[in-house]
Structure 1
Amino acid sequence: MSLQEVIKSGKSVEEAVKAALAELEASPEEVSVEVLEEPNRGLLGFIGSRPAKVRVVRKATPGERARQLMEDILRVMALEGKVQMQEDEESITLEVEGVNLGVLIGRRGETLNALQYLLGLAAGRNAGSKKRVWLDVGGYRRKRENTLRALALRLAEKAKKQGRNIVLEPMSPQERRVIHMTLRGRDDIYTFSEGEEPFRKIVIAPRK
């Protein structure tokens, strides 16, 4: 793990900060600076002179803020789980593994979606850009996506065979996207959404 905080001295505050940035391998935008001591030239410019001293702390990234909140939630709920985080320029992925974590998923992933929303708020706090946050617990989303893909293909065949629209149950935007992407580009059926959130549904319709 890289350094998160250093205290450095120098002839000036600027010199001390520059030394701290070099050690942290960080840019000025990535840190906060606290001046602990202002430089003092002393008597005649050298007797009793005192250098500047600064504390430079690396700011938490959006992903680190989201991970910290997730770890706090686990602790408050007395749940044992390990949080893995990956972060790039556009998104943050958090995966929680452990035992008895079903309470974090909820009915049809409703609690999981709510937690994902909260983590997105935490990640976006004081951030210059908003990154998409993706949360999974115990591989639930991957399993659910596989189930949704299979469902989409099965209902597409049903819509084609019966020549009528098939209306699915209300789903989250993330789950609706799985259905749309699975059936995208077919020349025998097409999909569209109808209704208002949180009751918005996908319709699978045969092409005529």
Structure 2
Amino acid sequence: MTKLTVSGKTIEEAISKALSELGTTKERLRYEVIEQPQKGFLGIIGTKPAIIEAYIKPDAVEMGLSFLKEMIEEIGFSVEIEKKEQGDYILFEIIGQEDMGRLIGKRGQTLDSLEYLTNLVANKQDDSYIRIQLDTENYRAKRREALEQLAHRVSRKVLRQKQKVVLEPMNAGERKVIHTSLQNVSGVDTYSQGKGSNRHIVIVPETK
């Protein structure tokens, strides 16, 4: 992070100089006042300028991207990461020539962990939250489709046997897919129970 010491007759003037020299905007500028301006004798003799130390706020997405690249390299993968804006979130599409199964992990656990850590780093110094999603080899879409199929298969079993079925633990995003898939299916209800990594969905016959 490059810091710049700037002076001016007033703090506002020093800020204006910092914006010009750093080539940035007020939204991205961060500064600390080192010395307040002081008027001297008769407002002239001994006058001291305002001094600030200024820097550009790190770009949250770029911080997340840099962190992710470093983490993946430490795992032992050589990849490219494409950054795409997807409405209310940023997608980091990981592209590699190797088998990406190890990077995805069992039921996407490794990919989810990398995603969680990337979001922590990206939002560490940002005033507003940005959401970053990781994907590789279209895993997210494939997993969603598999969950939707599971939801409807289990719902048919519940309707047929009139007994509840407890699904395996899932993260919040995957549980939402199950809930959404069955919200309009007549005859079944869904709810989540358990805590932390053991939180799971229960599909039950609808009570009238």
* Residue 127 (1) aligns with residue 119 (2): no
Q: Is the 8 A contact 1:83 1:95 kept in 2?
A: yes
1:201 Cα offset (Å):
1.6
* Residue 145 (1) aligns with residue 144 (2): yes
The equivalent of 1:97 in structure 2 is 95
1:198 Cα offset (Å):
1.1
Supply the AA of the counterpart residue of 2:18. V
The change in CA–CA distance for 1:62 and 1:89 in structure 2 (over 3 A counts) is: farther
The change in CA–CA distance for 1:58 and 1:18 in structure 2 (over 3 A counts) is: closer
The change in CA–CA distance for 1:61 and 1:15 in structure 2 (over 3 A counts) is: closer
RMSD of aligned alpha carbons: 3.4
Identity %: 31
Task: Write the mapping of 1:118-197 to structure 2, written as runs, cut at 5 A.
Answer: 118-197=117-196
The change in CA–CA distance for 1:20 and 1:89 in structure 2 (over 3 A counts) is: farther
Supply the AA of the counterpart residue of 1:151. L
1:176 Cα offset (Å):
0.9
1:18 Cα offset (Å):
4.4
Supply the AA of the counterpart residue of 2:80. K
* Residue 74 (1) aligns with residue 72 (2): yes
The change in CA–CA distance for 1:75 and 1:31 in structure 2 (over 3 A counts) is: farther
The change in CA–CA distance for 1:10 and 1:199 in structure 2 (over 3 A counts) is: closer
Supply the AA of the counterpart residue of 1:160. L
Among candidates 59, 64, 70, match of residue 61 of structure 1: 59
TM-score for both structures, normalised by structure 1: 0.73
Supply the AA of the counterpart residue of 1:156. S
Among candidates 86, 110, 113, match of residue 84 of structure 2: 86
Structure 1's unaligned 5+ residue stretches are 35-53
1:80-105: CA deviations, max 9, x gaps?
Answer: 21112235785332221112222221
The change in CA–CA distance for 1:11 and 1:171 in structure 2 (over 3 A counts) is: closer
Structure 2's unaligned 5+ residue stretches are 33-51
